[in-house]
Amino acid sequence: MLEGIDLAEIEMKTGPPPEAVRRAVESLVRTGKLKEDGTRLRLPEKLLFVSNEVLQAIV
Amino acid sequence: MRGIYVHIPFCVRKCSYCDFYSVAGDRAAIEDFLGLLVREMDLFAGKFPGEAAVLADTVFFGGGTPTVLGADALCGILAALKERFPIEPDAEVTTEANPGTVSAEDFLTLRAGGFNRVSIGVQSFNKATLETLGRIHGVEEVRAAHRDARHAGFSSIGMDLIFGIPGQEATDWAADLDMAVTFLPAHISAYALAPEPGTPIHGAVGRKELRMPTDDAVADMYEETRRVLSRAGYRHYEISNFSRPGAECLHNIKYWRREGYLGFGPSAHGLLFPQDKAAFGMRTANPPSLSDYRRAIEERRLPWEDVHVCDREDAWKESGRTPGRNRSLRGCECWRGSISRRSK
């Protein structure tokens, strides 16, 4: 879980991310609610407990 | 590979916090349900032969209380699945089992019948907390269930716990964690309670008969969970789930990785990938009603009350979810609407 997801792998399976998803993710990364690590994207450990709030910003 | 989820919609008694579909069932209702379930499998295999041919490596029986059916019936369902769908010989096959509804003999039957993982619905070891939750068991039943499961040869035993319960103090939760660890289960789920509308506990909180712990108090309990379980050698692999290395629940992980799964039984959900119809996946939802479920099957149609063909945006949103649930007992998922538990 703490490893996050591999964006490159998802892109390979489903094509490039839709604009709305890309914008939401960029905003969350900018505000520190998601962390980028190479091609991986993950929740910072301190935000695990409120992950619903973070991830609902994308949906 | 894919998973298979079977929802058993019966309980001895409805717990005060639970909003999953279940009813009290007598023997006749259970027999009727077993027949419907097999007919649903046949309907699916007939209408989606390509999907039915995909190899499964996990099977999960949830509910409700699957063990209310009795071990022979559960083994019968598993055998019916194996007759109709290819399932890996060493697939992870789990059933939820509530203390007080399963005997030593049941565990032996389940093990011999192909189940290799059991998830025990402990929820708490504290008598007052169990009463608040409306559970029918006590600590002795938990001990017995765990002992009997081990004696039957189950090496992968999980325990489900709940925290953030009205009346539960930090010390109570710490004691629950300490007690759980003494059993050395392979897997521990620790869910934060979020009372769902329509449940007795939600009503009692609304009427101020019960008071929820503050968010800060619940967050502290979560942090305590992580501390205690990581010190005890558990890996925090999903927001509410901890396991010994290598003992993660593969079926649970499948949901989060957006791998396909079939759902059978009332209220069960599925995710299919029929390439000619839905390259990005197709979500299916059975009705949370035995009568609606029966009606559909008697009319020889799949009991899907909702079918959603996913597009690329859905696939991205759902693929992007970090495995895990928090602040909820299944009702409030990380990616709302994208995963229905097991999704139920």
Superfamily of chain region B2-256: Aldolase class I (3.20.20.70)
* Every domain of chain B and the residues it spans: 2-256
| B320 contacts on A by Cβ (under 8 Å) | 5, 10, 21, 25, 41, 55, 58
pTM: 0.89
Which of B322, B336, B338 is the best residue to mutate to test the A interface, defined by the most A CB atoms within 10 Å of its own CB?
B322
Q: What is the ipTM of this complex?
A: 0.76
User: How far off is chain B from A2, nearest CA to CA, in Å?
Assistant: 7
pLDDT of B79? 98
How far, rounded to the nearest angstrom, does the alpha carbon of residue B192 sit from its chain's CA centroid?
A: 15
CB B95 within 8 A of CB B66: yes
d(CA B266, CA B323): 25
* Every domain of chain A and the residues it spans: 5-56
User: How far off is chain A from B252, nearest CA to CA, in Å?
Assistant: 12
Tens-of-pLDDT digits for all 344 residues of chain B? 999 999 999 988 888 888 888 888 888 999 999 999 999 999 999 999 999 999 999 999 999 999 999 999 999 999 999 999 999 999 999 999 999 889 999 999 999 999 999 999 999 999 999 999 988 788 899 999 999 999 999 999 999 999 999 999 999 999 999 999 999 999 999 999 989 999 999 999 999 999 999 999 999 999 999 999 999 999 999 889 999 999 999 999 998 888 999 999 999 999 999 877 888 999 999 999 999 999 999 999 999 999 999 998 888 888 765 443 333 323 223 222 222 333 33
| B255 contacts on A by Cβ (under 8 Å) | none
